[in-house]
Amino acid sequence: MGSLLYYRKQRLVTCGSLGGQLAGRLLSLAVILFALLTLGCGQKQAAGDQSGPSIPVKTEVIQPVPIPDTSEYLATLKSRHSTALNPQVEGQVIHIFVKSGDRVKAGTPLMEIDPLKQQATLSSQEAARAAQEANVRFAQIQWDRAQKLYAAGVTSKQDYDQAKTNLDTAQQQLKSLDDQVREQQVELHYYSVVAPTDGIVGDIPVRVGDRVSLTTLLTTVDEPGSLEIYVSVPVERSKNLKIGQKVELLDADGKLIAESSLDFISPEVDNNTQSVLAKATVKNASGALRTSQFARARIIWDVREGPVIPVLSVSRINGQFFVFVVEGTGKSAVAHQKILKLGELIGNQYVVLDGLKAGDRVVVEGSQNLVDGAAVTETSEGSSSKPSS
């Protein structure tokens, strides 16, 4: 009986020990499950915090636009209505009748060169002509007398012929003197410098008392009107020149002044500059352009279709260009960063060579707050417009 009681007591102790171990294991498992659930909830909450609210941005739809292929050159403006006045005689300037900036009509006296020497020469020629006129009259009288005497048989044929020869010689000498007098009169006219056309008097570099020669520039007379653009195009691009090709004239800030088209292409290459001269006529109704002015001339070689993108929407990192493109719509709209290959800058837009296609929605405002894959709320600015010249 005592042995049986001892056995039962030992069994109860053993069962109690096993139950305690099982309870401990169950408690450990419960703790582990609670920790896992807590960690999962934390990760979900962290993920929810990372996505955050969508970022408002403005987008622009990429569409192909005309892109001009152009080159800029230095051009010179010249006028077909501008006259440089040089004296046709040498002498001393004694009068200047106008000042720079005066508007004059054709034939208006501008200045006078001392004509005294020429007037003396003319007077001498006129006196010689008057003397020769007397010789012609005397020779005519002799000829008339010789005719009568020869008809009456009083004089010989030799005297008759001699009288005729004297008259012819005197008449030819008189004609020569008449021509010389007219020449001196024309030359005397050159001592008075007049305006060849209507226009505006330019700079007058000479002064009263200056001695001028045939190469001295007296002044210029510019008639307002159309100007010609002189452009020297390198021989490498001359093969692309065509009559009627569009030319744009730009000011120092790159703004468009006037438009024209080529109307002359030189058949020869300039030996010194290895360039080909091309010309275009431009209207100057406002008078803003001036003769001999330098300007920027842009020749448009061709126009092609292609995408462009605003400068402010492009980011540059480590020498590469990036842009954010919105994909998806509504609440599923996200911004992704794309690498671009860009061409020349036209106005305030880049020409896109690779990386975008028609229909892409590019972020143009708000990109500074974006990361790749960020949720966005977009407002559209419409399609990309034609690049400014």
Give the pTM: 0.55
- On whether the CB atoms of residues 309 and 352 are closer than 8 A, the answer is yes
> Under 8 Å CB-to-CB from 182, ≥6 apart: which residues?
none
pLDDT tens per residue across span 88-145: 999 999 999 999 989 999 999 999 999 999 899 999 999 999 999 999 999 999 999 9
pLDDT given at position 312? 83
Q: Which residues of the chain have pLDDT under 70?
A: 1-52, 381-389
Q: Residue written as tokens 């126009």?
A: 303
> Under 8 Å CB-to-CB from 81, ≥6 apart: which residues?
197, 199, 222, 223, 224, 225, 226
Among residues 233, 227, 261, 232, the alpha carbon closest in space to that of 247 is found at 261
pLDDT given at position 10? 47
pLDDT given at position 98? 94
